[in-house]
């Protein structure tokens, strides 16, 4: 996702935070590599902050009556830590 980046650039953090869970899982698995190089743009800080974000909101909604889906939370949080 481009977010506030100049043309032909994108932000890995914006891609994680502003997309759906399915797109995030695919993005983490592929690793945000450039087509021309094998440079991985997904840093430990971005993945760590995303995992903490999911952990916080997972804890906040776990005991509520809202069906938030623990299974999808476990997949996304595990991918963020892994």
Rounded mean pLDDT of 53-70?
A: 76
How high is the pLDDT of residue 35?
Answer: 58
> Could you state, in order of their start, the residue ranges of all structural domains in the chain?
12-81
Q: What span, in angstroms and rounded, lies between the C-alpha atoms of 17 and 15?
A: 6
pLDDT tens-digit series, residues 23-49: 888 877 777 655 555 556 677 888 888
Of 78 and 18, which is predicted with more confidence? 18
Q: What is the mean pLDDT of the chain?
A: 75
Task: Report d(CA 6, CA 45) in Å as an integer.
Answer: 22
**Statement: residue 22 has pLDDT above 70:** yes
Q: How confident is the model at residue 57 (pLDDT cuts 50, 70, 90)?
A: confident
pLDDT the model gives residue 32: 67
């Amino acid at each position: 996702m481009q977010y506030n980046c100049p043309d032909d650039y994108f932000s890995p953090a914006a891609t994680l935070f502003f997309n759906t869970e399915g797109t995030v899982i695919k993005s983490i698995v592929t690793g945000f590599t450039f087509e021309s190089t094998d440079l991985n743009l997904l840093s430990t800080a971005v993945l760590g902050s995303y995992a903490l974000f999911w952990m916080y909101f997972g804890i906040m909604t776990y005991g509520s009556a809202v069906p938030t889906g623990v299974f999808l939370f476990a997949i996304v949080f595990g991918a963020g830590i892994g």
